[in-house]
């Protein structure tokens, strides 16, 4: 008897490219992944799961997910969605490191080529949270650490515990210093090419 793990339309929109990656993309040369896409399919209601499938050649495939709970199945697909996005980041030259929130981030609006048109890192993260049963983070403020060249600093960036409220770029070609005014009235001048670690406050859309 087939099982159905219910999913929202938004979740299904992101699980569709994940199924494609399981069969013809990232995992196409991984035989151990074959049962996951052969025995499971997407419907308008969710993930339809067969206990086994013998329609592909002479082999019978048993479904590794079939005896898992709905929560475990949703978690499994959530992890695969994250893996697809992180592989895209790596292939693009953004090697995601632990704690590097600029990459796998709820506020990274870069479109992910390994998903569908218009699907971004941030929107994939939102679906990841949904599949994991986490609360919706829309409207929440998060802190993003980023290295910036001084000339690219922005009002609102935080350096240490000080928030930038005003920036004055070099006024002449001979002047190479950026003037930074902080919310505690402190003023600092730094070389425009200096790398500075900042904290940006962004709102999850």
- In angstroms, the Cα distances linking 25 to 35, 120, 133, 179, 183 are 15, 18, 27, 49, 49
Confirm if 1 and 48 have CB atoms less than 8 A apart: no
3-state SS, residue 193: coil
Q: What is the pLDDT of residue 47?
A: 98
CATH 2.30.30 residue spans of the chain: 141-203
CATH code reported for the domain at 141-203: 2.30.30
Residue 87 has pLDDT above 90, yes or no: yes
Percentage with pLDDT > 90 across the chain? 84
Mean pLDDT of 19-26: 96
DSSP 91-128: HTT----TT-TTTS-TT---B-TTS-TT-BHHHHHHHH
Percentage with pLDDT > 70 across the chain? 96
Mean pLDDT of 19-31: 95
- Sign of the CA dihedral running 32, 34, 40, 44: positive
Mean pLDDT of 19-23: 97
Mean pLDDT of 46-61: 92
Q: What is the mean pLDDT of the chain?
A: 93
Report residue 94's pLDDT band, with 50, 70 and 90 as the boundaries: low
Residue 50 has pLDDT above 90, yes or no: yes
Number of Cβ within a 10 Å radius of residue 192 = 16
Confirm if 7 and 14 have CB atoms less than 8 A apart: no
For the question of whether the overall pTM of this predicted structure is more than 0.85, the answer is no
- Tens of pLDDT, residue by residue over 138-189, are 999 988 888 899 999 999 999 999 999 999 999 888 889 999 999 999 999 9
Q: What is the pLDDT of residue 177?
A: 95
Q: What is the pLDDT of residue 99?
A: 42
Residue 96 has pLDDT above 50, yes or no: no
Mean pLDDT of 97-125: 85
Q: What is the pLDDT of residue 130?
A: 98
């Amino acid at each position: 008897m087939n099982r159905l793990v219910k999913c929202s339309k938004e979740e299904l929109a992101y699980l569709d490219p994940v199924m494609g990656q399981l069969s013809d993309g990232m995992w196409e040369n991984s035989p151990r992944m074959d049962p996951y896409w052969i025995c499971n399919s997407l419907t308008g209601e969710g993930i339809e799961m067969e206990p086994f499938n013998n329609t592909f050649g002479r082999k019978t495939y048993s479904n590794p997910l079939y005896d898992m709970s709905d929560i475990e199945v949703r978690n499994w697909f959530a992890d695969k969605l994250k893996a697809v996005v992180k592989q895209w980041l790596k292939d693009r030259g953004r090697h995601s490191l632990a704690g590097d929130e600029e990459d796998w981030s709820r506020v990274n609006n870069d479109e992910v080529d390994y998903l569908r048109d218009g699907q971004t890192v941030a929107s994939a993260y939102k679906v990841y949270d949904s599949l994991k049963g986490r609360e919706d983070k829309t409207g929440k403020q998060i802190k993003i650490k980023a290295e910036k060249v001084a000339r690219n600093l922005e009002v609102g960036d935080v350096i240490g515990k000080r928030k930038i409220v005003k920036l004055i770029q070099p006024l002449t070609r001979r002047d190479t210093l950026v003037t930074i005014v902080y919310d505690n009235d402190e003023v600092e001048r730094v070389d425009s090419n200096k790398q500075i670690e900042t904290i940006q406050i962004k709102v999850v859309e």
